[in-house]
Amino acid sequence: MAPRKNFRNQAKKEVKPAAVVNKNGVKVEASVAASGGGFSGTKIFTWFMVLALLGVWSSVAVVWFDLVDYDNVIERAKEFRFNFSEVLQGKLSAYDADGDGDFDVEDAKVLLGLKERPVSVLLREAKEEYAVKEPDDSRDEATHPYGDENNAIDTKGELVEKAQPQQTVEESKQYNNQPGSYNNQPGSPETKETVQLRYNAEAESVPEPEADVEPEVESVPEPEADVEPEVESVPELEAEFVPELKENAEDQPKDKLKEKAKKKKPKLLNKFEKTIKTEIDAAEKLRKKGKVEEAVRAFETLVLQYPQSPRCRYGKALAEDGLAEKMLSNDMLQKAIGTYKEASELPNATPDLIKATLKKRAERQQFLGRMRGALATLEKLVQIFPEDMALKNDLGVAHLLIGDNNSAKRVYEEVLATAPSDGFAKVHYGFILKSENKIAESIPFLRDGLESGDPGTDDGRFYFHLGDALQRMGDDSAYKWYERGHQRGHFASVWQRSLYNVDGLKAQPWWTPKDTGYMDLVKTLERNWRIIRDEAQSVMDRTTGLFVPEEENLREKGEWGQFTLWQQGKKAGESCRSVPKTCGLLERYPEATGCKRGQIKFSVMQPGTHVWPHTGPTNCRLRMHLGLVIPKTGCKIRCTNDTRAWEEGKVLIFDDSFEHEVWQDADSYRLIFIVDVWHPELTQYQRQTLSPI
């Protein structure tokens, strides 16, 4: 009986393929041989391991040989913040940079920095951010070296001035260490800002516009109580030329600290501006972040929308001011000054905004050297706010800066009549008295003002002049004040009290020719001293034996005359025509003729003359004295505690930023040739850019 057919039996009856011999002589099944050996589980695993190892070693090679710039990949990922999953899901609207509701080529241009973002988008984002977090009043001093519009705020919230702009020669007395000139002893070390008055040091003096201040100004009503205070506090304008040193809280009287704690933020918004405060804050946020170009555009948009808003225009002026600083542009700063004026004259401006705006205007006018314009602005402020003693103090300084000591004196007398303990008024009033040679009367005002610790009193000039007044009265406590000035950071040492300084220069009272590196100049002077002497004697007054009298108020007694050939690096042509050989010898020594912080001059001193102990204005120069006519005895010079005498035909070199004193007790005149030279450690760039003295 034939077996029944089914799938099981059919499987049993399948015939196995015949074995074949492969090329290696091994028998394998035909099916396997036909397929090339097949993929058993073991071989699959083996191939998997081979591929895995290749991947591992490829990764090692990429890292080892630095084939991929991972830092660049990470930076670009941070820059664009692109999430691939969002791309797949079509969520590109998150990268809508131009605000049109989608992501396209224009958005890509913005992300790549090829196109600026529209102001509307910037304002929208700023509003959204402001709604989440209140603006932070802190500023990054690295980005804003002046802190809040040219000033820095210390840890107590006090204004600390960063720089002292100088004034034009036409509007102020030249320095020459004259105690009567307010610009005599600037109160801070040399900085970029003290080196150049304007943003562009090479720019010519710009004619000052006529004062546009009306003589009569109507009083401004007090702001209503419901006006919200502005987010940003506008600091009081301590005159930029009177820097204040940071003080510890324990150094100040308790009542002063309480007074500061009670100080309220200014109210800059009127009633209408409260309704647009969010828009103003959004634009202000851009400015505080240092995005000054965007802030200018944002405030310009607001001014177009709300042309009668004083706060919007004030914000525009601040943004323009910041942009001027960034661009180092006098033109942009002048535009800001004009905008400050516009903001102050709009109707419905709050008193606090008028005060803040005009203060900023005066401050920036002073920075540009437009002292009379600043004076007019401050006079307007005092008319509007007659009870504000701080404004009167600033007005007094403005008078001093144009050399009008009499008007400044009247202002400070008014302040002291109303506020007899005002330290700022006291030090300035004492300064004026000393300039009038009222030495004894000046001392209590200078001393009491410094001891008050009031803002604006901790200034090197006042330590300098108090010590000098005490010395002239024979009071040894002068050195106590010099020491205190040194401890406060105003003087390099008790002996070296110059205030126009460059940090890091070698400081020693006496120098040798080899120390200076100006050996050739010294040899030229000493070889030709008789020629120089003869020309000097030829221009002396035959009757009096004098040149132009010394006018620096440095003499206790006697007669001292000078004949100047170079001043502040500029040749005195008429004088040099009188002594052509002497000037010809010096022409090839730019370290002397190009020294903008020095002089080249003849100096004659008559018997019975004593020059008070004093210091020069700067550590940027050294002073050479070539002896021409020297009496055998009675003439000597002291620098610090080392006293020396001149010799005919020999050069003495000293650093006149150290205290020095001169006696002439001979029976005939003493004649020397003074040649100031740049400090040898100053770079060529510094010599070109330092401001003249």
Q: Measured between alpha carbons, how far is 658 from 645 in angstroms, rounded to an integer?
A: 17
* Max Cα-Cα span within the chain: 168
- Assess whether pLDDT exceeds 50 at residue 366: yes
Q: How much is the pLDDT for 455?
A: 95
| Cβ–Cβ under 8 Å, residues 288 and 232 | yes
State pLDDT tens for residues 545-589: 557 776 667 888 999 999 999 999 999 989 999 999 999 999 999
Q: What is the DSSP string of 165-212?
A: ----GGGS---TT-TT-TTSS-SS---HHHH-SSSSTTPPPPPPPPP-
Listed residue (588, 586, 577) closest to 674, CA to CA: 586
- How do beta strands 159-161 and 151-153 pair? antiparallel
Q: What is the dihedral of CA 44, 45, 47, 51, to 10 degrees?
A: 130
What is each CA distance from 317 to 146, 237, 324, 334, 337, in whole angstroms? 17, 16, 10, 10, 7
Listed residue (12, 32, 14, 13) closest to 22, CA to CA: 32
Specify the range with the lowest mean pLDDT, choosing from 291-305, 482-496, 547-561: 547-561
Task: For the chain, give the percent of residues with pLDDT over 90.
Answer: 59
Q: Measured between alpha carbons, how far is 650 from 624 in angstroms, rounded to an integer?
A: 10
- Main-chain phi, psi angles of 147, to 5 degrees: 70, -125
| Cα-to-chain-centroid distance, residue 679 | 23
Listed residue (335, 331, 329) closest to 316, CA to CA: 335
pLDDT category at 544 given cuts 50, 70, 90 is low
Q: What is the DSSP string of 237-253?
A: ---TTS------GGGS-
| Cβ–Cβ under 8 Å, residues 654 and 643 | no
Quick one: tokens of 294?
A: 């965007």
Calculate the average pLDDT of the chain.
76
- Assess whether pLDDT exceeds 80 at residue 663: yes
Q: How much is the pLDDT for 65?
A: 59
pLDDT category at 32 given cuts 50, 70, 90 is very low
- Assess whether pLDDT exceeds 70 at residue 321: yes
Q: Measured between alpha carbons, how far is 42 from 55 in angstroms, rounded to an integer?
A: 20
Listed residue (415, 425, 230, 208) closest to 309, CA to CA: 230
- How do beta strands 27-29 and 19-21 pair? antiparallel
pLDDT category at 45 given cuts 50, 70, 90 is confident
Q: How much is the pLDDT for 98?
A: 55
- Assess whether pLDDT exceeds 60 at residue 390: yes
Q: How much is the pLDDT for 219?
A: 40
State pLDDT tens for residues 597-632: 999 999 999 999 999 999 999 999 999 999 999 999
Q: How much is the pLDDT for 630?
A: 98
Helix (H, G, I), strand (E, B) or coil at 98: coil
**pTM summary value:** 0.66
Q: How much is the pLDDT for 54?
A: 77
- HSE of 103, CA atoms in CB hemisphere, 13 A: 11
Greatest mean pLDDT among 9-18, 141-150, 294-303 lies in: 294-303
Helix (H, G, I), strand (E, B) or coil at 418: helix
What is each CA distance from 570 to 595, 600, 637, 687, in whole angstroms? 9, 10, 28, 14
Q: How much is the pLDDT for 49?
A: 77
Q: How much is the pLDDT for 413?
A: 97
Specify the range with the lowest mean pLDDT, choosing from 100-109, 143-152, 331-340, 663-672: 143-152
Q: How much is the pLDDT for 84?
A: 41
pLDDT category at 220 given cuts 50, 70, 90 is very low
Specify the range with the lowest mean pLDDT, choosing from 256-260, 443-447, 502-506: 256-260
Q: How much is the pLDDT for 485?
A: 97
- For helices 389-401 and 371-384, what crossing angle results, to 10°? 160
Task: For the chain, give the percent of residues with pLDDT over 70.
Answer: 62
State pLDDT tens for residues 420-458: 999 999 999 999 999 999 999 999 999 999 999 999 999
Q: Tell me, what DSSP letter sits at residue 235?
A: P
Q: 670 or 81, which is more confident?
A: 670
Q: How much is the pLDDT for 1?
A: 43
| Cβ–Cβ under 8 Å, residues 509 and 495 | yes
- Assess whether pLDDT exceeds 50 at residue 171: no
pLDDT category at 540 given cuts 50, 70, 90 is confident
pLDDT category at 82 given cuts 50, 70, 90 is very low
